[in-house]
Amino acid sequence: MTTTTTMVISHILRKRINIYCSQTGNSVLYNWTISDGFEDLMSTNQNLVHTFTTPGTYYVNATVYNAVSSKNNVTEVFVQDPVTGLSVTALPKVLGTNSDFATTLSTGSDYNCSWNFDDATPTEYTSEVSGTTLGASSYAHMYSAGGSYNVTVNCSNGVSSEAVSVMAVVQELITNLRMVKEGASKNTDYYLEWTVDAGTEITFNLTFDGSLIPTYTTVSKYKWRSPLQPARGASSIPLTLSAANEVGSDSISINFEILSVIVDPTLTTPEFNVSSHTPVPFTVDMAGGSGVTVHFDFGDGQTDVFTQTPGQEWSTPHTASHSFTAGGRFNVLASFSNAEGTYNLTTEVMVLVSVESIACNTSQYALYYPPANASLTLFGTTLPTEPTFTLNWGEPQSRDTTPELVLNTPYWHTFGDTGEFEVTVELANLMGEKTCKNTITVVEKLEGPSFKPEFAKAAVGLPYDVTFCLYRGPSGALCKLDYNFGDGNTKQTDRQANVAREGMDGCDIEPVVYNDYTTRNVMVNAKTPLETDTASTMIEVIDGVSDADIALPDPNDVSFGSPSQFELTYNGAIMPTDAQILVDYGDGTFLGPIPFSVATQGGTQTFSHTYSSDGLFEAVVTIYNDATRVNRTIMVGSYKQFSNLAADMFYLA
């Protein structure tokens, strides 16, 4: 048996397909299976008719068999919805923005669309967007020029196609609609002309004096005019103009002035040299004109406006009054304008302000870090007239400078050293002179407050030196030191003028006597005119070594080679705390330190030393602890015996 299967490859949804199977053989049966779930098994149907309900890709399997053999064939079938009901809409759009095209389809699947935008750009393509509702798609395109474009869209798939065209309108938005002139000369024929900054394919509606003017002509791309209007006398005529195109509209309403041209305008003032804050009259006049507006610019940032009553001829001068608050020369401008033209006139006024009212103020002190920055401010309510300004900051290398005079704003200067500097300001103009002298004291910054005592502890009942140091800072009256000794006593002093500076510790010493064993919190505040710095330290009070209580006589002379005996007697009633003894025997050898071992008043401590050479030696004995130190110098003799002593006789002539 031989078999051949013939199948339709593409199909329209919900239409039947015919599948024919040809073969040779007898007693043949057919098994039909389709991937949408359809089955017809052990069928005698050589032709299968089947309707698909959903678009997509399907596989049709046909098996032909009898008792002696079988044949099988599989065919792929593509099922699509036809493209129907295509429509495209486009709203008018402003040039330079996207033109949006909304598309709808009644049916269709697996389709692609081509877009021809009629503007010489390449054809663009879109495809079916998966998951969107049929008909709910859009596309955007930006045109580079205004106009009307015939846009063609063609959507197709494997079983059908459909094309539609839509007109896309792209126009410039109307902007700044205005009249070229808002008036005309009386007794003269005139045109009504108007313009815009942008806009295309505009339709205008012009109403003048209550009547519609139905026609107009194009003068240039953005300019139009009415037919020639007949001459009128001086009057004010209502005018309404509206403009519209597909993407926008604009309108204006004015009174169109029929007026006289401006003839021989004048600007006068009786005052050319005035004081500040004094009203100055400025009078404008003309031989003829109507619908006139006069703009005054007084040259000091202030302005004024006078507008003539519409429809009236100029008949009376107008005076504007103005008070100048600053001194100087001011060019006053009067601008005369109506619909027929503009005329500008100027006059000069000298406002006289003396330098006498200027107050000079400087920083009294400046902090030297280094360097130091200080300011000078010239205070005043009115800038003097044409002043000269000389400034010298008073440093040895300073020179006179001539900066621009600005009131109520600080001038800054950097000082390179400490000291007192006389700042000199010289001001002058036609009305007088003024000199200011101010002293700026540059004060060194306080840095590194610390305590550097000779002894870590204080001895009860004995003077203790509180040693306060600054790594950097001023001296004398510029730096006050406030001492709090921690026992209720305080003291204020000027920092010593001769202490070290320039980055070296300079120290001040103040003595204090503590009469009990309480540990003291000692605090010192260093104050300058610009700042305060503080340091503190804890001082423990112990028993010290009293010089008056020590007896240490010179040892007796000894024969060379014999030990010299040293005897120290301590007569104090209270023994020093943790005292030590150090001895320099004067021959390059030392003893100690050894503990101070006297335990009772009048007790002694002895030690001996044998000198390696004979002679008289200066020995130094130091008795000390953490609060005190006592040094005693004694003479020690170690001598050899005389031998072979002989006497020589001689006579004196």
> For residue 233, what pLDDT band results from cuts at 50, 70 and 90?
confident
* Residue showing tokens 């009469």: 515
Contact 629, 580 (CB under 8 A): no
> What confidence tier does 629 reach under pLDDT thresholds 50, 70, 90?
very high
Dump pLDDT digits (tens) for 579-625.
Answer: 999 999 999 999 989 999 999 999 999 999 999 999 999 999 999 99
Is the confidence at residue 341, as pLDDT, over 70?
A: yes
Token digits of residue 211: 């009547």
- Interval 9-43: pLDDT, tens: 444 444 456 555 655 667 888 889 998 888 988 88
Task: Give the whole-angstrom CA distance, residue 157 versus residue 645.
Answer: 151
How confident is the model over 520-533, as a mean pLDDT? 94
Structure tokens at 399: 């020179």
In terms of Cα–Cα distance, which of 310, 327, 309, 329 is closest to 318?
309
Residue 520 has pLDDT above 50, yes or no: yes
CA distance 483 to 495: 11
Instruction: Say which residue, 447 or 4, is predicted with more confidence.
Output: 447
499, two tokens: 């202490």
In angstroms, the CA 90 to CA 230 distance is: 46
Q: Does 628 score more than 70 pLDDT?
A: yes
pLDDT for the residue numbered 18? 57
Q: What's the gap between Cα 174 and its chain centre? A: 40
Does the bond joining 371 to the residue before it have cis omega, within 30 degrees of 0? yes
Q: What is the pLDDT of residue 22?
A: 59
Q: 317 pLDDT exceeds 60?
A: yes
pLDDT of residue 582: 96
Q: Report the relative pairing of strands 532-539 and 520-527 from DSSP bridges.
A: antiparallel
- Calculate what percentage of the chain has a pLDDT beyond 70: 92
Cα–Cα nearest to 197, from 250, 151, 122 = 250
Q: Quickly count: other Cβ atoms within 10 Å of residue 403's Cβ.
A: 9
Whether the CB-CB separation of 143 and 124 falls below 8 Å is answered with: no
Q: What is the pLDDT of residue 235?
A: 82
Instruction: Select from 320, 260, 276 the least CA-distant residue to 295.
Output: 320
Angstrom CA distances, 501 to 470, 471, 472, stand at 8, 7, 6
> Does the pLDDT value for residue 1 go beyond 70?
no
Measure the CA–CA gap between 143 and 122, rounded to whole angstroms.
13
Give CA 7 to chain center in angstroms: 77
* H-state helical runs in 76-215: none
Separation between Cα atoms, residue 636 and residue 567, nearest integer Å: 12
Q: Are 74 and 90 in contact (CB under 8 A)?
A: no
- Amino acid identity of residue 411, one-letter, is Y
pLDDT (tens digit, 9 = 90+) per residue, 641-651? 877 766 677 66
The predicted structure's pLDDT at residue 9 = 40
d(CA 272, CA 293): 25
CA dist 22 and 3 (Å) reads 6
Mean pLDDT, residues 372-381 taken together: 93
The pLDDT of residue 645 is 66
Query: Per DSSP, what are the bridge partners of residue 570?
Result: 550, 603
The pLDDT value recorded for residue 12 is 45
Query: To 5 degrees, how large is the angle CA 307–CA 308–CA 312?
Result: 160
Comparing CA positions, the residue from 111, 96, 69 lying closest to residue 170 is 96
Provide the token pair at 531: 């700042």
**What are 136's two structure tokens?**
């709910």
Given a cut of 50, is residue 3 above it in pLDDT?
no
Residue type, 44: T
Averaged pLDDT for residues 267-282: 91
Question: Distance (Å, rounded) from C-alpha 522 to C-alpha 534?
Answer: 11
The whole-angstrom separation of Cα 143 and Cα 407 is 58
Confidence tier at 291 by pLDDT (50, 70, 90): confident
The 10s digit of each residue's pLDDT in 167-226 is 989 999 999 999 998 888 888 999 999 999 999 999 999 999 999 999 999 999 999 999
Mean pLDDT of the residues in the chain: 88
By DSSP bridging, strand 432-444 and strand 419-429 are antiparallel
- Pick from 133-142, 268-277, 306-315, 624-633: least confident: 133-142
pLDDT in tens, 460-505: 999 999 999 988 888 888 999 999 999 999 999 988 755 544 446 6
Please enumerate, as own/partner, the contacts of 270-275 that have beta carbons within 8 Å and a separation of 24 or more.
Answer: 271/349, 272/348, 272/349, 272/350, 273/349, 273/350, 273/352, 274/324, 274/349, 274/350, 274/351, 274/352, 275/351, 275/352, 275/353
User: What is the spatial distance between Cα 131 and Cα 498, in angstroms, rounded to a whole number?
Assistant: 93
